[in-house]
A and B are shown apart, each in its own frame.
Chain A
Amino acid sequence: DQQVKQNSPSLSVQEGRISILNCDYTNSMFDYFLWYKKYPAEGPTFLISISSIKDKNEDGRFTVFLNKSAKHLSLHIVPSQPGDSAVYFCAASGRGGGSNYKLTFGKGTLLTVNP
Chain B
Amino acid sequence: DTGVSQDPRHKITKRGQNVTFRCDPISEHNRLYWYRQTLGQGPEFLTYFQNEAQLEKSRLLSDRFSAERPKGSFSTLEIQRTEQGDSAMYLCASSFGGRQVYGYTFGSGTRLTVV
Contact = CB atoms under 8 A, between A and B. Distances in A.
Given A101-B31, A105-B44, A107-B40, A44 B91 contact: yes
A4 B42 contact: yes
Contacts of B109: 41-43
A41 B106 contact: no
Interface string A8-47: 0000000000000000000000001010100001111110
Contacts, number: 63
A80 interface: no
Interface residues of A, number: 24
A103 B91 contact: no
A100 B48 CA distance: 12
Interface of B: 4, 6, 9, 31, 33, 35, 40-45, 48, 55-56, 91, 93, 95, 99-102, 104-109, 111
Contacts of A107: 40-42
Interface of A: 4, 32, 34, 36, 41-46, 49, 89, 91, 93, 98, 100-108
Contact of A106 (B9, B42, B56): B42
